[in-house]
Structure 1
């Protein structure tokens, strides 16, 4: 790579970073607005029609904000179609409403980076991100499934509580089967939650296992030091 290419790449990265720093907090607020407006729209159907129209307008405005941010970062990156591959999660978040609240998780990471150092070890951060992602994903998934299912013929998910119970059993990969989606859209949401549940469960399990191994290894080293023994192989 020649000097001009490296300089151009550095300028693109600098502009992208500047844009992300300016939009991280507004995007996080947009995620909350989207989730809150959608939740009220689904859970309070008895509100006046103008209120529902306002809630839908807020959700649409939040989505438009996500789309504009995606397009701007795409143009600033100068990567063309490679941007989609490198930032596939951002692409999915723009396309699938279910995942938009997960944008809030990224904001915490950005705040930690601005401080110059993280307050938690890697394993704890992974478990924190996975737990927060599970809660946001579960709530959004419960809203979607409830909206699709509660008026369907032969539906077993009739209340929001049923939907929350079903999401918990699905994300935890238990799947009791006492309540299940019967609509096509509800089952598509179920497939997405199953995939996300496996990924999040694997992340938490792997991080917790790594943390335990480090703790045990530290304990063994401490015991050897107290007994006057050196590291293995001395």
Structure 2
């Protein structure tokens, strides 16, 4: 039975739901890994001022690569007008990489892709995105750089990774490096994500969240 407010009027579920909607947005991030992306975005949310954490939600969910779009649509269906859907995934060995991106965009889902892997985006915090084709090589070389810059071993399940990137790197520089690399690919005639390497669009999501946080400080 619906609950009543102080005036005796019944509260509908819609009214109750609207009060719980974060003022700054509800970001739904669906990824195909259980490690790095979750740690990164959880760290991003934890870095927000305390009074903003309830105003801006970042919910990270994992699923298999082939289910990214379906899972995102299912999770967005609830309060669809308030949730901001994103899928975040890597080129790695995904055969239908370009197709997933195209289908997601047609469905109104934002895509934070990386080629060859998410680590290429984190490279940008240290001022560069090197030309690396293989994801395992990218992870290994990033691990070496991360150890050099932070004094800590790189772990995909490190809950402090976002904090360490910001403390030992430069996020504003990362945004600039990522966009420059993307534009360079376009100038070279590479307009298909699987051919754009190194490249990423994760910085669009991170930058949007950061701008909202700054505007509400």
Provide the TM-score with structure 2 as the length reference: 0.29
Structure with larger Rg: 1
Higher strand share: 2
Looking at both structures, which has the greater relative contact order when contacts are Cα pairs under 8 Å and sequence separation is at least 6? 2
TM-score for the superposition, normalised by structure 1:
0.28
Give the helix-richer structure, 1 or 2: 1
